[in-house]
């Protein structure tokens, strides 16, 4: 099978899994959506479970690139004021990315099938949410070393930042098909609270 045909099947499966869930999606539906035979799907992926794993874990390269890009601007901050401005921009991008409807749908899908595919759920967490947290922790540590923020534990600071930013919006978004949120207001509030604890001079 060509790489192009492989990608078509994965894309078709992704759309169906996100819209209908794993159990309600049949191999026949995936084959029809991809305009291939059912046997072609089985030949390439073995079974629907293997295809599900590939769909979920395909997020890894995108998450890695996003984590690197998200935190890269923190490297350029040279004053406390610049740190605040950059953090606001980072928070808005981070929140907007997590609240993207397709990202929310994938999270719901992974959580809904976590009991059936615990290893896939764990791998998804390690390759997406945890990767972003690790990138934040790394850059927060560097900011602390340069005296631009005050903190003792970069990893805990990254966790705090993420939960201040994502906690309520993500919780709401997981239970609503079309969550409404003011990204700028929510992001700025999270940064305000974070800097109240970690601003230099406190």
Q: What is the pLDDT of residues 131-156, one digit of tens each?
A: 999 999 999 999 999 999 999 999 99
Mean pLDDT to the nearest integer, 71-79:
85
Mean pLDDT to the nearest integer, 164-172:
95
- The CA-based angle 79-80-86, given to 5 degrees, is 90
Where do the structural domains in the chain lie, given as residue ranges?
Answer: 3-54, 58-198
58-198 and 3-54 share a CATH fold = no
pLDDT at 1 over 60: no
Q: Mean pLDDT, the chain, as a whole number?
A: 92
H-run or E-run covering 199: none
DSSP string, 98-158: HT-HHHHHHHHHHHHTTTT-HHHHHHHHHHTHHHHHHHHHHHHHHHHHTTSB--S-HHHHH
CA dihedral of residues 87, 93, 96, 102 (deg, nearest 10): -140
**Residue 174 DSSP class:** H
pLDDT at 182 over 90: yes
pLDDT of residue 85: 93
Q: Contact, 148 vs 83, CB < 8 A?
A: yes
Mean pLDDT to the nearest integer, 4-18:
92
pLDDT of residue 115: 95
pLDDT of residue 158: 97
Mean pLDDT to the nearest integer, 172-191:
91
pLDDT of residue 3: 64
Local confidence band at 125 (pLDDT 50, 70, 90 cut-offs):
very high
pLDDT of residue 179: 74
In this structure, what token pair is assigned to residue 139? 């850059």
End-to-end CA distance of the chain: 61
What's the CA gap between 202 and 198, in Å, rounded?
A: 7
Mean pLDDT to the nearest integer, 63-91:
89
Pick the CATH number of 3-54 from 3.30.360.10, 1.50.10.150, 1.10.10.10, 1.10.10.60: 1.10.10.60
pLDDT of residue 136: 95
pLDDT of residue 141: 95
pLDDT of residue 118: 96
Q: To which CATH superfamily is domain 58-198 assigned?
A: Tetracycline Repressor, domain 2 (1.10.357.10)
Mean pLDDT to the nearest integer, 164-190:
92
pLDDT of residue 153: 96
Helix, strand and coil content of the chain, in percent to the nearest 5, comes to 80, 0, 20
When computed from its CA atoms, the radius of gyration of the chain, rounded to whole angstroms, is 20
């Amino acid at each position: 099978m060509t790489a192009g045909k492989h990608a078509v099947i994965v894309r078709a499966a992704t759309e169906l899994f996100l819209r209908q869930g794993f159990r309600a999606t049949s191999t026949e539906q995936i084959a029809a959506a991809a305009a291939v035979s059912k046997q072609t799907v089985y030949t390439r992926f073995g079974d629907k479970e293997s295809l599900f794993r590939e769909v979920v874990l395909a997020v890894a390269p995108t998450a890695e690139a996003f984590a690197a890009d998200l935190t890269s601007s923190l490297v350029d901050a040279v004053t406390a004021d610049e740190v605040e401005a950059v953090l606001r921009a980072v928070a808005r991008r981070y929140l907007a990315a997590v609240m993207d409807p397709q990202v929310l749908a994938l999270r719901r899908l992974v959580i809904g099938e976590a009991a059936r595919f615990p290893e896939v759920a764990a791998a998804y967490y390690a390759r997406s949410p945890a990767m972003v947290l690790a990138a934040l922790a790394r850059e927060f540590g560097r900011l602390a070393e340069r005296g631009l923020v005050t903190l003792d534990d970069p990893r805990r600071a990254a966790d705090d930042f993420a939960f201040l930013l994502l906690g309520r919006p993500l919780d709401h978004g997981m239970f609503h098909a079309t969550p409404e949120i003011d990204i700028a207001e929510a992001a700025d509030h999270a940064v305000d609270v974070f800097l109240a604890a970690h601003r230099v001079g406190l």
